Amino acid sequence: MLKIGDKAPDFTLPTASGETFSLSQALQQHHVVLYFYPKDETRGCTAQACSFRDQYDVFRENNAEVVGISSDSTQSHQQFSEKHQLPFTLLSDTKREIRKLYRVPRTMGIVPGRVTYLIDKQGIVRYAFNSQLKPLEHVAGTLEVLKTLL
């Protein structure tokens, strides 16, 4: 995993709406909460996404944008986003290149990991949390650290 204080690698990926997301462009305006999750429409991933959704206004009030990444297709992301009314961006990392770039570990060597990073506007990792079994703690922990950033 990347560690607190590491420079977050830049990347570009397609969004669910077919646009292009670039980390460096997003950081020009906001801190970025970048969360990697295993799969759309699974129990833990849905709970996590809905928790980010329910706290989205608080993230925005603290100048942060939430971005989720999995290896699901843009079509899967679009359906997942619409069904659960997600106000934030979901990115398709179908080749798992960004997951590797951010050193997101697999659970039991099989399941794609669940890791959240808080990246400040300078591109520095300020928070990193890895827990497959505690999807809601990703949101609470990130918010706690975000509120300390100026």
Residues belonging to the active site:
45
**Residue 60 Cα to chain centre, angstroms:** 14
* CA quadruple 89, 127, 103, 110: dihedral sign: negative
For 46, phi then psi, to 5°, come to: -70, -45
